[in-house]
Amino acid sequence: MLQACLNGSRTRDFHRLTPLSAADLAADAVAALAAGASELHIHVRGADGAETLAPDMVAQVLDEVRARVPGTPIGLSTHGRIAPGAERLDAVAHWSVLPDYVSVNLIEPEAPEMIRLALSRGIGVEAGLWSADDAERFVALPEARQVLRILIEINEQDEAEGLAAAAAIRKVLARASLDVPALQHGLDATMWPLYRDALMRGMDGRIGLEDGKLLPSGEEAEDNAALIKAALEIARVPPNPVAATGTG
């Protein structure tokens, strides 16, 4: 599965075609799926362009995107920089239109509460793990086996360090024997190395402007669709296991 992460916290200063409005996100969703993406990960923005979990804006974005790409799984971020923990929990509790899933970062103090709230509302959960410590916290949760998938999310910018961090997370997960699907992705300098590593390991991946704007060639991508096309071109070439480092 290849997930398209359309915008994240990026602005138009990062890339001129970063989709922010509901209309922009809907149009980008159509293009990303036409390019070969399977699912969508979106950060909802308010009228001022700032990230929000406000029920009215969530409903507007989900309704508009679903109208253009019906049946496509859509996930939303709940990361901690959007608003304080209690405010985010209250917003999710009052959503009238629900996403298919939300991503929850285990590094955040209220992550267990957010996971329980989402599951109680019938929303799938992507458990975001940035480190082995996050993985240890996650596998200790009673809900660990109930999540939709695990996100191995690598923020390190050195390729070797990023691959090692991912390997450390996978080791914790392997010991826990959760039997939960996993998606692995990097950020900026490690976006393509972590994607190739995920392919080699038979894991799901994600690509999009949230994670980086450069093509494997180093050129700036025209848009999210161009990044998705590049990812699928890589997937058509059998990965070289010798080229990847790290274990687990």
Domain limits for position 81: 2-243
pLDDT tens-digit readout, 223-233: 999 999 999 99
Decide if 61 is inside a domain. yes
Decide if 82 is inside a domain. yes
Tokens 């049946």 correspond to what residue?
A: 71
- List of residues 6+ apart from 239 with CB closer than 8 A: 196, 199, 200
- List of residues 6+ apart from 30 with CB closer than 8 A: 68, 69
| CATH of residue 100 | 3.20.20.70
pLDDT at 241: 47
Total domain count, the chain: 1
Decide if 248 is inside a domain. no
Decide if 157 is inside a domain. yes
- State the 10-residue block means of pLDDT for the chain, 248 residues long: 97 96 97 97 94 97 97 97 94 98 97 98 98 98 97 98 98 95 98 97 97 98 98 77 41
- What is the enclosing helix (H) or strand (E) of 52? none
Nearest-angstrom CA–CA distance, 96 and 11: 27
pLDDT tens-digit readout, 40-99: 999 999 999 999 999 999 999 999 999 999 999 999 999 999 999 999 999 999 999 999
